Structure 1
Amino acid sequence: MPTQGIKGGQFKVLSEEEIYQVHLATLQVLEEVGIKVEHRPALELMVDNGCKVDFKKQIVRIPEYVLKKSLQSAPSRITLYGKKHDFDVVLDDTNTVYTMGGAGATWVLDLDGKRRPATLRDLVDLTRLQDVLENMHIAHFLVLPQDIPQEGADRIVFATMLKHTQRPHHTIPGGPQGVKDHIKMASILAGDTDRLLQTPFYLENVCVESPLYHPKERVEELMEVAKYGIPMLIEEDAVAGATTPFTLAGTLVEQNANILCAIALAQMVNPGTPCIYSISSGIMDMRVGNYSAAAPESTLLHVATAQMAHFYHLPFQGGNTCDSKIPDAQMGYERASHFLALALGGCNIIHVATGNLEQMRLASYEQCLLDNEILGAIFRIVEGVTINKDTLGVEVLKEVGPQGNFLAHDQTLKYLRKTRWIPKLTDRRNWEAWEIDGAKDIRNRARDEVRRILREHNPQYVSEDMQREIDKVAKEAQKRVLEKVNSR
């Protein structure tokens, strides 16, 4: 069975008329309210391209014709390259579904059940672990190591990801200089910068803030990424009821205006820059004053946003972690309901798909494998039922006849591995067989498998000479950042 590029899109929460209503409301916000953009060169560029700018208040208003022209140059198809072509990911504005690993936890739930600060060793091990998961297609730094200086840490994290995964991977720049440092390291692996830009194997993530705000450093990052034409996620992490309107429809409008403004700016910098419309939004639980990643309303918001992105012919990334703190029953229903809706909703990249708990604060080794299992089942559901002359089985029924048995029939053997999902952790045996084998629950089985993978999977994707060169660039880059911070 295929494990990537499954066709979703069967689940729609907005009608075509409702999509158009959100679009019209977005145009009204862009033309009448505007977006605050804290970077004068960006404001000047937007004026030159037909936007109305209040330089004193740093507010940009975008006419419909300017937005339309800008979006026309944004590609609908984006390819991210793995170290082998088997791991290439082709994103477009259709409903093809991929996944991206978990993101940026500062805490780890280790294999002894202890919650502790994440380390650089955890980043290496979790990257190696996720590298073998067939249902994880784009790598992400699952943890932010807390045992290294935080200023300029993105350089160390980027170098680590380059060395330990064969998949395309995600990164976040630590300012515009971080974009340049990432390109310098990636060019070592690619051979040179031209080859890197022809076959990019990573994507940058630039976040805008709600409501309707583009901070200076994020705008600088966006313009630097666009200058080189590196693929980028343009992301908003709204909290409905706090940083955006309480209604999901109102949040849709705010997100749409904010993200489309950023995509338009990227196209003004460099027409054709690959941009992925992205959110990691959720709702505010008013009872406790906390963000909820896994609420059903958060899931609806992501499915609806996928429809909006595709309306503009843009690839879409969405997805949230779970609210549960440990791999328990709450985790199971949160992950399954969220992932299934996103896959059926045609989310091109399901974000935070492996390893995160506690609203992205926590990473779990066991959770990586549990998520991989859940995703495998979901991909099989989304794949659906194949109807053709052979699968309808009329000739098979003639051959076997009433009260016959199909176990040894050629058709059974033909389709067994093609159409049946074969789980790796799920136990389907009877009680007695399970008890004889140690009566382990799925979390214990996942823990055993993690230990086996980390013991056996030690690939070397980058030569030792390249590793030394990449590490040298990363350390020197972080040193410059630290010197700049200490000189203030």
Structure 2
Amino acid sequence: MGIEMKRQIDVTFLGPEKVAKIHEASLTLLETVGMRVGGERGIRVLRDAGCEVDVDGMVKIPRVLVEEALETVPKELVLYNRAGEKAMVINTENAVHFGTHADQLEFVDPDTGKVRPFLKADTKTMCTLADALPNIDFILSVGMSKDVAPEIQTQISFIETVKHFSKTINFSTNDIDSLQEVIDIAAVVAGGKEALAEKPFIFNYCEPIPPLSHPEESTEKLIISALNRIPVVYMPYCMMGGTAPMSFSGALVQCNAEALGGLVVHQRTCPGAPFIYGAMPSIMDMISSIGSYGAVEFHLMVAAASELVSHYGLPFYGTAGCTDAKGLDIQAVSEVTQEIFSTLLSKANLVHDVGVSDHCNSVNPELVVLCDEIIENLKHYVRGVDVDDIDEMVEIITRIGPGGAYLTEKHTMKNFRTIHYPKFFSRKMKNPETSEVRAKIRESMHAILATHKVPALDEAVLAELDAWTRTLEARPNINPMSDAS
């Protein structure tokens, strides 16, 4: 098991004065410029709340609605595992939990090390790894298996994930209709929709479209999540210089206005429904034109946004453990380590994209295993320095005296295991000529895949999930997909 996470190092990225300026500027944007909102229900919710709506769908949101939403939204979030046991408590005590992907566009094959299209069977591989790794607390099911028909990828991916993963599941959907179906499938596992709402083992992920746009797909996903009382992440992903100003403050103001606009829709739909604030203010790389996942500016901005959201008292959904590199190389290790360190010094609570590579095109199971170890290392760092035992230390130092040794002290024998001993990194008296790290990572990965057994679902639940799969695959216009090579 990973160590109990309690961050006791206080690092400031903004400070109260900057937080107040960003908040005020965001409210000004919402009131004077507004947001372009799509979807009849989303517009109706805002109009009924007293917002000014013009013929182009531009909606001006008074600050009083933001303030009311910040009052009604829960400040503590409890997430459960598949068995209905409490898994994560997110509140002002600053806990942090990491998650990886159950599926992705591409997959770094654990046997060959080559990148190939992600296949349905690979979901079991990712779920098995994530289920076993002590510092991976949730998995993200996104619906991208190459050998599954696009119309049902979301639902099939979720079914495969819930069958092979016992912890909390984060999920996103490819369209509006599939969201309700995923919730209905999860209710089968939870024992009904009321039981699922009472002890959610799932939480939804959706986004606005920067700058300042909430299309129908976004507002509907917020509304459906709120009505079902399923926790939902609302996460603007913008690129400075592309879909956000080429300015740290400008990007933060825009992201904050977009997230707060979503919060108003969500809370006006169902006051008190659980909401998770996310922000991905990255950069557009002007050499390649990609949105960078490894840029140092991106992760500074994520940390700053987490401090802003801490001011609101809301759960924050961040990003770390990802890389712009395609394979597990020096760039990948450098980027994921910087990001995890930054995140652990920030106020982020739920952190996704561990092991995601190549600008979020692929997921690399080997990198996930390494990140689990990096997270464990750095958790020991951010525990900080405890001085509660200082009187006892003075007594021991006095007794040992000048020139003494502590090796045989009872206190040493009792406490030496509080020091972290890495699994993969060497502290041998004499190091070999070549690195053993990569081989250790791969050995650990293959051992988990060979031996870890995810607790099985009840046979009746499995039968219902199989029935869902058959029904989905039998829909009109759904063509069987052949395995990708």
- TM-score interval for Structure 1 and Structure 2 normalised by the shorter chain: over 0.9
How far the C-alpha of 1:97 sits from its partner, in A, is 1.5
2:293 matched residue in structure 1 = 293
Residue aligned with 1:96, SS: coil
Query: How far, CA to CA, are the matches of 2:6 and 2:469 in structure 1?
Result: 36
Residue aligned with 2:387, SS: coil
Amino acid at match of 2:135: N
Amino acid at match of 1:211: P
1:449 matched residue in structure 2 = 444
1:241 matched residue in structure 2 = 241
Higher mean displacement: 105-114 or 475-484: 475-484
* Alignment of structure 1 residues 357-368 onto 2, 5 Å: 357-368=357-368
* Alignment of structure 1 residues 385-396 onto 2, 5 Å: 385-389=385-389, 393-396=393-396
* Alignment of structure 1 residues 378-389 onto 2, 5 Å: 378-389=378-389
1:325 matched residue in structure 2 = 326
2:421 matched residue in structure 1 = 422
Residue aligned with 1:6, SS: coil
1:334 matched residue in structure 2 = 335
2:60 matched residue in structure 1 = 61
- Contact 1:324–1:330 (8 Å) recurs in 2: yes
Query: How far, CA to CA, are the matches of 2:101 and 2:300 in structure 1?
Result: 20
Query: How far, CA to CA, are the matches of 2:85 and 2:342 in structure 1?
Result: 27
Query: How far, CA to CA, are the matches of 2:476 and 2:38 in structure 1?
Result: 22
Query: How far, CA to CA, are the matches of 2:478 and 2:146 in structure 1?
Result: 19
Amino acid at match of 1:413: M
How far the C-alpha of 1:416 sits from its partner, in A, is 2.1
Give CA deviations for 1:353-375 in whole Å, capped at 9, x if unaligned.
2x221122121121111111111
Change in 2 beyond 3 A, CA 1:104/1:2 = closer
- Contact 2:98–2:136 (8 Å) recurs in 1: yes
2:482 matched residue in structure 1 = none
1:139 matched residue in structure 2 = 139
- Contact 2:143–2:154 (8 Å) recurs in 1: no
How far the C-alpha of 1:104 sits from its partner, in A, is 4.7
Amino acid at match of 2:159: A
* Alignment of structure 1 residues 113-192 onto 2, 5 Å: 113-141=113-141, 144-192=144-192
Q: CA RMSD in A?
A: 2.1
Give CA deviations for 1:450-484 in whole Å, capped at 9, x if unaligned.
11111101223312331121132244246548559
Query: How far, CA to CA, are the matches of 2:142 and 2:401 in structure 1?
Result: 54
2:76 aligned with 1:77, yes or no? yes
2:325 aligned with 1:345, yes or no? no
Change in 2 beyond 3 A, CA 1:267/1:478 = farther
* Count of equivalent residues: 477
Change in 2 beyond 3 A, CA 1:322/1:149 = same
- Contact 1:141–1:157 (8 Å) recurs in 2: yes
Change in 2 beyond 3 A, CA 1:8/1:52 = farther
Amino acid at match of 2:405: N
How far the C-alpha of 1:174 sits from its partner, in A, is 3.3
How far the C-alpha of 1:37 sits from its partner, in A, is 0.7
How far the C-alpha of 1:9 sits from its partner, in A, is 6.3
Residue aligned with 1:238, SS: strand
- Contact 2:2–2:134 (8 Å) recurs in 1: no
- Contact 1:79–1:91 (8 Å) recurs in 2: yes
- Contact 1:128–1:454 (8 Å) recurs in 2: yes
Higher mean displacement: 464-473 or 296-305: 464-473
Change in 2 beyond 3 A, CA 1:274/1:90 = same
Change in 2 beyond 3 A, CA 1:452/1:33 = same
Change in 2 beyond 3 A, CA 1:475/1:425 = farther
Amino acid at match of 1:172: S
Query: How far, CA to CA, are the matches of 1:253 and 1:478 in structure 2?
Result: 44
- Contact 1:142–1:363 (8 Å) recurs in 2: no
Query: How far, CA to CA, are the matches of 2:241 and 2:86 in structure 1?
Result: 39
Change in 2 beyond 3 A, CA 1:171/1:362 = same
Identify which of 460, 463, 466 aligns with 2:461: 466
Amino acid at match of 2:90: L
Query: How far, CA to CA, are the matches of 2:471 and 2:147 in structure 1?
Result: 18
Query: How far, CA to CA, are the matches of 1:304 and 1:70 in structure 2?
Result: 22
Give CA deviations for 1:1-35 in whole Å, capped at 9, x if unaligned.
85354226622211211111111111111011111
- Contact 1:281–1:293 (8 Å) recurs in 2: no
Change in 2 beyond 3 A, CA 1:244/1:236 = same
- Contact 2:239–2:284 (8 Å) recurs in 1: yes
Query: How far, CA to CA, are the matches of 2:142 and 2:258 in structure 1?
Result: 27
Higher mean displacement: 462-471 or 122-131: 462-471
Residue aligned with 2:341, SS: helix
- Contact 1:22–1:249 (8 Å) recurs in 2: yes
Amino acid at match of 1:113: G
TM-score normalized with structure 1 length: 0.92
Query: How far, CA to CA, are the matches of 1:413 and 1:263 in structure 2?
Result: 52
Change in 2 beyond 3 A, CA 1:101/1:46 = same
Unaligned runs of 5+ residues in structure 1 are none
1:377 matched residue in structure 2 = 377
Query: How far, CA to CA, are the matches of 2:92 and 2:477 in structure 1?
Result: 41
Percentage identity across paired residues of the two chains: 27
How far the C-alpha of 1:232 sits from its partner, in A, is 0.6
- Contact 1:155–1:475 (8 Å) recurs in 2: no
Residue aligned with 2:246, SS: coil
- Contact 2:345–2:382 (8 Å) recurs in 1: yes
2:26 aligned with 1:31, yes or no? no
1:92 matched residue in structure 2 = 91
Change in 2 beyond 3 A, CA 1:167/1:203 = same
Give CA deviations for 1:367-409 in whole Å, capped at 9, x if unaligned.
1111111111111111112112358612222333333322232
Amino acid at match of 2:195: R
Give CA deviations for 1:16-62 in whole Å, capped at 9, x if unaligned.
111111111111110111111111222122111121111x2001111
Unaligned runs of 5+ residues in structure 2 are 480-485
Query: How far, CA to CA, are the matches of 1:11 and 1:119 in structure 2?
Result: 42
Query: How far, CA to CA, are the matches of 2:426 and 2:339 in structure 1?
Result: 23
* Alignment of structure 1 residues 202-281 onto 2, 5 Å: 202-281=202-281
Query: How far, CA to CA, are the matches of 2:469 and 2:68 in structure 1?
Result: 39
